[in-house]
Amino acid sequence: MLFNLRILLNKAALRNGHSFAVRNYRCGQPLQNKVQLKGRDLLTLKNFTGEEIKYMLWLSADLKFRIKQKGEYLPLLQGKSLGMIFEKRSTRTRLSTETGFALLGGHPCFLTTQDIHLGVNESLMDTARVLSSMTDAVLARVYKQSDLDILAKEASIPIINGLSDLYHPIQILADYLTLQEHYGSLKGLTLSWIGDGNNILHSIMMSAAKFGMHLQVATPKGYEPDPSITKLAEQYAKENGTKLSLMNDPLEAARGGNALITDTWISMGQEEEKKKRLQAFQGYQVTMKTAEVAASDWTFLHCLPRKPEEVDDEVFYSPRSLVFPEAENRKWTIMAVMVSLLTDYSPQLQKPKF
């Protein structure tokens, strides 16, 4: 029966001009996979062990290889739908989620502030219950982490954080996949963060030590990461034998760093602070002068969109810049998140070295 179904799907694919083939995607390597994430929420990487995060990256690499390199058709999410709640606009989060979910055979439903008002026309509790009855998962890009917490508490389906004021976990998965592809392993790398103590940094702080990566952070005074998150990150560093350094000197944070990382200085909702922030962040632009003190194999990451005051063109468009592979990997990592939370699929690709 399954064999006949694959034949029919292959014929349908060829009629539509596709050259890929449908495989028995249920096989994989279940004996090697002891990680079970099905049915869980992804609100912050704080809630995941190092092995669980590595598994999502392994699955990302597997899907990327099978679909992009081998041209296979894997309808792992066929018959499933995704609710996408976006209070904040986005290019990469929307495109990666919509195209990725659809590529796996699912149906993404994009909902803006014009379509759904979280906690305004309908309570968060009621919204969570309605979406749970009509979709298989929800990705929400919101202003407040507390809204995600309420959605997760009230929903009976997985809730995925597409960005909040505190965390941006799906971005960090793409960052780590990009670094793993480039360096071959993550353990022992030094990440140098130069910029705002924001949601991106918080997500790095909740996960880097779990891979054995060191983290050197430079933020202007008054723009440090959340103290409670810093305290937990210090605990992670101690448990994993890594170094966590927080300072106000960009060059010192870049010293010996393998990956130089920055982000916007002015997030959505902080526009009124623009003048004040631009003044506070003077001297924090990533340039070749910054790179001079970094490791000889330094690379550069930025989650985009980028502004010239954050990083100059010489670094941003240099061969050392991984920003565009990083952007593409948003797609493969969010696909892996959806597959791991909604299916029993196991990767067939040999597990990468982390």
Q: What is the pLDDT of residues 249-303, one digit of tens each?
A: 999 999 999 999 999 998 766 777 888 999 999 999 999 999 999 999 999 999 9
CB–CB of 27/14 below 8 Å? no
Q: How confident is the model at residue 52 (pLDDT cuts 50, 70, 90)?
A: very high
Question: In the chain, what are the domains?
Answer: 33-167 (3.40.50.1370), 171-326 (3.40.50.1370)
CB–CB of 205/215 below 8 Å? yes
0.85 surpassed by pTM? yes
pLDDT digit string, tens, across residues 126-140? 999 999 999 999 999
Cα separation of 341 and 42, whole Å? 9
Cα separation of 223 and 105, whole Å? 43
CB–CB of 161/43 below 8 Å? yes
Angle between helices 92-103 and 323-342 (to 10 degrees): 50
The pLDDT of residue 232 is 98
Cα separation of 300 and 314, whole Å? 11
Cα 50 to the center of its chain, rounded Å: 15
What's phi and psi for 193, nearest 5 deg? -95, 130
Triad 29, 31, 37: Cα angle to 5°: 80
Q: What residue has token string 């008054």? A: 222
Q: What is the DSSP letter of 68?
A: I
CB–CB of 138/155 below 8 Å? yes
For the chain, list the strands marked E by DSSP. 81-86, 107-112, 137-141, 159-163, 190-194, 214-218, 244-247, 259-262, 299-302
303 labelled catalytic: yes
The pLDDT of residue 211 is 98
For the cut 80, the answer to whether the pLDDT of residue 245 exceeds it is yes
For residue 112, the one-letter residue type is: T
The strand pairing partners of 174, in sequence order, are: none
Triad 180, 61, 80: Cα angle to 5°: 140
Catalytic hit among 56, 191, 254, 303: 303
Mean pLDDT of the chain: 91
Both structure tokens of 180: 């793993």
CA distances from 129 to 77, 154, 343 (A): 22, 7, 21
Residue of higher predicted confidence among 143 and 118: 143
> What DSSP element (H or E) covers 159?
strand 159-163
For the cut 50, the answer to whether the pLDDT of residue 227 exceeds it is yes
The pLDDT of residue 32 is 54
Least trusted range by pLDDT, from 114-118, 212-216, 228-232, 240-244: 114-118
